[in-house]
């Protein structure tokens, strides 16, 4: 088996950190204003959170699709990351930064290992 699964999981982890740095640090004020507009539009905080997670998935989709020149890889990476984000938030898992990174990397790696093993 190639190491493509590893590269995808690693780039997805880096992409998640880049997303955090860009949107929570560089464009924080804009992001807060955008969240207010979205919250008024969707009408609830849970829907706002889901829209945020979907926007993050779109970010990962675009970045990974461009880097790997594959819409399939971009879509699958964004989808598995979205499912993991929704799960650990809905389940109320309290994790440190390192635990969160390890959680994502482990399950995203397993997903792509299984996918490319078939």
3-state helix/strand/coil string of the chain: CCCHHHHHHHHHHHHHHHHHHHHHHHCHHHHHHHHHHHHHHHCCHHHHHHHHHHHHHHHHHHHHHHHHCCHHHHHHHHHHHHHHHHHHHHCCCCCCHHHHHHHHHHHHHHHHHHHHHC
Distance CA 110, CA 61 (A): 19
- Give me the tens of pLDDT residue by residue for the chain, a chain 118 residues long: 588 889 999 999 999 999 888 877 788 888 888 888 988 999 888 888 899 899 999 999 999 999 999 999 999 999 999 999 999 988 988 999 999 999 999 999 999 999 988 7
Say what the pLDDT of residue 1 is. Answer: 54
Say what the pLDDT of residue 33 is. Answer: 87
Say what the pLDDT of residue 78 is. Answer: 95
Say what the pLDDT of residue 106 is. Answer: 94
Q: Which domain holds residue 113?
A: 4-117
Number of structural domains found in the chain: 1
Say what the pLDDT of residue 64 is. Answer: 95
Say what the pLDDT of residue 81 is. Answer: 94
């Amino acid at each position: 088996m190639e190491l493509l699964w590893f590269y995808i999981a690693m780039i997805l982890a880096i992409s998640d950190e880049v997303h955090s740095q860009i949107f929570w640090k560089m464009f924080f004020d804009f992001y807060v204003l955008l969240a207010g507009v979205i919250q008024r539009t969707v009408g609830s905080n849970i829907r706002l959170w889901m829209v945020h997670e979907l926007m993050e998935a779109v970010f990962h989709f675009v970045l990974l699709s461009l880097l790997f020149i594959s819409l399939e890889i971009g879509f699958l990476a964004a989808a598995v990351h979205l499912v993991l984000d929704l799960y650990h938030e809905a389940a109320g898992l309290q994790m440190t930064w390192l635990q969160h990174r390890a959680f994502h990397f482990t399950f995203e790696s397993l997903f792509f290992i299984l996918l490319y093993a078939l």
